Structure 1
Amino acid sequence: MIIGVPKEIKNHEYRIGMTPAGVRELVGQGHAVLIQQDGGTAIGLTDEQYSAAGAEIVASAPEIFERAGMIIKVKEPQPEECRMLRDGQILFTYLHLAPDPQQTELLVESRAIAIAYETVTDDRGGLPLLAPMSEVAGRMSIQAGAHALEKAQGGNGTLLGGVPGVAPAKVVVIGGGVVGTHAARMAIGQGAEVTVLDRSLARLKELDNLYGPAMKTLYSTADALESCVSEADLVIGAVLIPGAAAPKLVTREMLKLMRPGAVMVDVAIDQGGCFETSKATTHQAPTYEVDGIVHYCVANMPGGVARTSTFALTNATLPYVIALASKGYQQALQDDSHLRNGLNVHRGRITCEAVAQALGYDHLSASEALSA
């Protein structure tokens, strides 16, 4: 199979969908890999390294989309990329379709086979291709939040860990999954007072066993959430419903209860955000204020540490890329129910139920689509 890896074009997105090591693995199994010129240069992965691994360096994205049977990316395709997809071509990347009707419409029109990293599952009930970026985003959320708390950035001037004789910042993490756990871990490491809210008692018990008195855990109710948010210096939104739009848990009314200059970091922004006042921002202009509260809602947060993120992501995606290339997408999806859960769009039909419900499309199951 010919596999194409275009350069990412989203604002300040420097990740790339494949490393030279991945190219070497695929070429060694008889596949051809096209890498767009300078696709990885920004993170120290040069065209020479890709060529040495066996890739063909291609000057433009249109040529890659024209020649490749499968497109490997990191971020969701932008409109101009969607329009280059063709009937039956495989797209393997993050999609986050539920809050993005334009992208969904364009993918349906393309009749491409769109497989989303974020809905591939595993035997443990996890999301193995989302987890690496969730780990990065969780850790970055504290780094970004601590910076936004600085007075010059619009924050209230609180140092996350305080100093002897001065109380540390209060950090509230909404959601105890991968993002929330890594955010809490980083905040605890910096000496903050950390509270995690979740609706899974089993998960709260796990976190309590891991961190003990260093972390407070609370069952998430509207009352508990409002109380915690009102006292917080930094709120991390780490809520995920796989494939679906994130629920709006923090309302605008709650902002009126918060301290001026408090900071909210919405890591769920790729799925529409879990704060009512969230809107996607970029690394170029990451924050804005609503009612005196600083919002950080960068939609490609891990892109800020693009080298680390690229290696973390491609370590996880490579086995699936090899399976799709070596078996063909139909056999690969039939053989692996977890990879099949990643199928979101198949030749003009929506095959992810959460996306269909969010955007009003008829749903066709992945199994039905593959057997049709």
Structure 2
Amino acid sequence: MIIGVPKEIKNHEYRVGLTPGSAAELIHHGHEVIVETKAGDGIGFSDKEYTQVGAKIASTAKEVFDNAQMIVKVKEPQPNECRMLREDQLLFTYLHLAPDPLQTDLLLESGCTAIAYETVTDAKGRLPLLTPMSEVAGRLSIQAGAHCLEKAQGGSGVLLGGVPGVKSAKVVVIGGGVVGLNAIRMAIGMEAHVTVLDRSLDRLRELDDYFGPKLNCIYATKDSVQKYVQEADLVVGAVLVPGAQAPKLVTKEMIKSMKKGSVVVDVAIDQGGCFETSKATTHAEPTYIVDEVVHYCVANMPGAVARTSTEALNNATLPFALALANKGYKKALNDDVHLKNGLSVHKGMLTSEPVAVALGLQYTSADEALDLGSSTAALA
């Protein structure tokens, strides 16, 4: 199979779909890898490193898309990239379609087959290709939030851990999943006063067992969310409904009740955000202020630490990329129900039910779409 790796074009996005090491592994299995020139330059992966392992360098993204059978990316394809996709092509990347009707429409129009990293599952019901970026984003949320609390950034001028004789900041994490766990670890490590809110008592018990008295574990209701949010110096939104839009758990009224100079970090912004006042920002202009509360809503947070993020992501995606390349996507999907759960678009059919519900579009199950796609190809 010919695998193409275009350079990411989203604002301040330096991650790359395949590291030289991952490219080498695919080439070792008999595949061809085409990498757009300078795709990895931003994080220290030179064209020479790719050519040394046997990859070919393309001068333009169009050359990559024109020649590749499978496109491996990091971020969702931008409109001009979607328009370069074709019916016989496989796209393997993050998609986050639920809050993005334009991308969804363009992928459906292209006729390509698109597998979303964020909805691939494992035997324990986890999201193995989302997990590494959730770990990064959770840790970054506290780093970014601490920076935003600085007075020069519009914050209240509070140091998360305080100092002897001065109280530490109050950090509230909404959601105790992978993002939340990593945010909690960082916030406790910086000696903040940390509270987590979650609707799963089992998860709260796990977190309580893990962190003990260092963490305040609270069951999430509208009343408890309002109470803890209005007292917080920093609130991290870490909720996730796989494939669907994030629920708006923090209302405009709650934001208005917060202290002047408080900070909210919406890690769920890729899925539409969990604060009513959230809107996607970029690393170039990461924050804005609503009712004197600083909002950090960068839609590709892990891109800030692109080298670490790329290596962590490749560790998780490479086995699936190999399966798709070695077997072809149909056999790979039929052999692995967890990989099949990542199928979002196939030959003009939308195969992600949460996305269909969010956007009011027709849903076709993955099995039905694959059967229909095969029948159409046979008739052609």
Q: Which TM-score tier does this pair reach, normalised by the shorter chain?
A: over 0.9
- Aligned match of 1:284: 284
- Aligned match of 1:253: 253
User: Does 1:158 find its partner at 2:151?
Assistant: no
Equivalents in 2 of 1:255, 1:114: separation in Å? 37
2:30 is matched by which residue type in structure 1? G
2:321 is matched by which residue type in structure 1? V
Q: 1:1-372 residue pairs with structure 2 within 5 A?
A: 1-372=1-372
Query: Which contiguous aligned blocks of 4+ residues in structure 1 show a shift greater than 3 angstroms?
Result: none
2:170 is matched by which residue type in structure 1? K
Deviation of the 1:363 alpha carbon: 0.7
Deviation of the 1:88 alpha carbon: 2.2
Equivalents in 2 of 1:109, 1:286: separation in Å? 32
Deviations 1:261-313 (A, max 9, x none): 00000000000000000000000000000000000000000000000000000
2:91 is matched by which residue type in structure 1? L
Equivalents in 1 of 2:329, 2:247: separation in Å? 33
Equivalents in 2 of 1:225, 1:53: separation in Å? 52
Equivalents in 1 of 2:350, 2:144: separation in Å? 35
CA RMSD of aligned residues (A): 0.4
Equivalents in 1 of 2:93, 2:334: separation in Å? 19
SS at match of 1:23: helix
Equivalents in 2 of 1:14, 1:74: separation in Å? 10
SS at match of 2:249: coil
Equivalents in 2 of 1:155, 1:367: separation in Å? 50
**Normalised TM-score (structure 2):** 0.98
SS at match of 1:264: strand
Q: Give unmatched runs, 5+ long, in structure 1.
A: none
Equivalents in 2 of 1:308, 1:53: separation in Å? 21
Equivalents in 2 of 1:184, 1:238: separation in Å? 11
SS at match of 1:223: helix
Q: Give unmatched runs, 5+ long, in structure 2.
A: 373-380
Deviations 1:42-74 (A, max 9, x none): 101011110011100110000100000000000
Equivalents in 2 of 1:67, 1:35: separation in Å? 11
Deviation of the 1:368 alpha carbon: 1.0
SS at match of 2:121: coil
Deviation of the 1:78 alpha carbon: 0.2
SS at match of 2:257: coil
Deviations 1:192-251 (A, max 9, x none): 000000001110000000000000000100000000001000000000000000000101
1:288 is matched by which residue type in structure 2? Y
**Normalised TM-score (structure 1):** 1.00
